Amino acid sequence: MRSPRTIRIATRSSPLALWQANAVKQQLESTGKKCELVLIESTGDVQLTQPIYALGITGVFTKQLDTALVNNQADIAVHSLKDVPTQLAENMFLSAVLERGAYEDVVLVKDKEILNSTEATIATSSLRRRAQWLKKYPKHKTVPIRGNVQTRLRKFEEAKDIDVVVFAKAGLERLNLLTENTITLDWMLPAAAQGIIGIVCRDDDAEMKEICSSINHRESFIAGFVERQFLKTLLGGCSVPISALAEISDNELEFRGSIHAYDGSKYFEVHRMMLLTEWETSGKESAEKILEQAGAKELLEEIKNKKWNDESALD
C-alpha cells in the first residue's frame, strides 16, 4: 500500500513567513495530512540595500519559492498574497488562501503628537504608503526602510532621525508586536490582498490542488481575486502606488480602489457596490472605471515610466 504523501511546504525563513507557513501546516495537518517545512531564501530577503521598487524585478519574495516548486524541492509555497505577482510564473497555480487577517496599515510612533506636526520623517519602502501619506501630510519627509518586521523595528528604534514607521497590521498582530504606540491608519487604503496568506502549487499537480482546496477560505479568495484583478488590469506591481480593498457582506461586494502619484499630488479613486455574483469581473470593471476619469491614463503612464536608478528619485 502506498504511504501517504508528505506535503513539503516552501517558505521564506523570516519569523513572519514561518508563522504563515506554520498556519498553513496546522490547517493541513488538521485534515490528517503530514507536512514539513522547506526553508528558502528569497531575493527580497538577501538584497536589503535597495528599496523593493528600485530592484527592477517582480516577485522578489516569491521567485525562489517558485523555483523550488519547479525543481520538485517542494509541493506548495506559502506567501503573503500581496507579494505574489498578478501574473503567476508558468505552471504555478494559486490553489487556496487562508481566512484574511487585518488588512489595515498601522504606524508606530515615538511621540503620538508627531502626527499633528507639519514636520516629520516617515519610514516606509512602500510607494503606495508613501504616496497616500504625502497626500495627507504633504510637508512630511519619507525615507526607505528594508528588512523583515523585527529588523525594521530595530532600525526604527535606533534611528534618531525617524519619527514614524509604517507596517501592515496583520504582520504585527501575527508576531504579537502591536504596542500602545501603534496607530491604525483607517484613512489609508491597503495593498491588493494585504492580510491574506496564499498557497501556490504546480498547475499540473491535481492531487495537491484538491488537498489545498479543502482549506481554502472562499470569501478571502474572492476578495483577493478582485483586488488582484484590479491591480493586474492597471498593470500594477510593487513599484506602483495602487490600492485596493474588496469587502463582502451577505450578497454584496463593496470595492474601493485608487491610484496615486508618487508624491501624492494627484490621485484617482473608485468606489462601487456590486452583487457578490459579479465578483469574477468586478476588479477589471473597477479598474476600467478609474481609467475613464480624465487624466488617469496619463498618470498611470507617468508612473510606469518612472525609473528608480538613482538616489535623487527617492527624495
Give yes or no: residues 150 and 263 share one domain: no
Average of per-residue pLDDT across 99-105:
98
Give yes or no: residues 200 and 178 share one domain: no
Residue 83 known to be catalytic: yes
Which residues, listed in sequence order, are joined to residue 164 by a DSSP beta bridge?
Answer: 109, 122
Could you tell me the strand order of the sheet in which 6-11 lies? 34-39, 6-11, 76-80, 197-202, 92-97
Local structure of residue 163 (DSSP, 8 states): -
Give yes or no: residues 250 and 285 share one domain: yes
Give yes or no: residues 129 and 88 share one domain: no
Give yes or no: residues 243 and 210 share one domain: no
Portion of the chain with pLDDT greater than 90, in percent? 78
Of the candidates 219, 222, 234, the one whose C-alpha atom is nearest the C-alpha of residue 270 is: 234
Q: Which domain holds residue 167?
A: 105-189
Residue 238 within a domain: yes
- H helices of 159-295, where? 169-174, 206-213, 218-233, 279-291
Q: Note the pTM of the prediction, 2 decimals.
A: 0.90
Could you tell me the strand order of the sheet in which 242-249 lies? 242-249, 252-260, 267-275
Cβ within 8 Å of residue 126, ≥6 positions away: 166, 191
Give yes or no: residues 133 and 169 share one domain: yes
Mean pLDDT of the chain: 89
- pLDDT for 98: 98
Give yes or no: residues 284 and 145 share one domain: no
Give yes or no: residues 75 and 209 share one domain: yes
Q: Categorize the per-residue pLDDT at 49 as very low, low, confident or very high, splitting at 50, 70 and 90.
A: very low
Residue 208 within a domain: yes
Q: What is the CATH number of the domain that holds 276?
A: 3.30.160.40
- From 83, 105, 163, 205, active-site residue: 83
- pLDDT for 181: 81
Q: What is the CATH number of the domain that holds 160?
A: 3.40.190.10
The total domain count for the chain is: 3
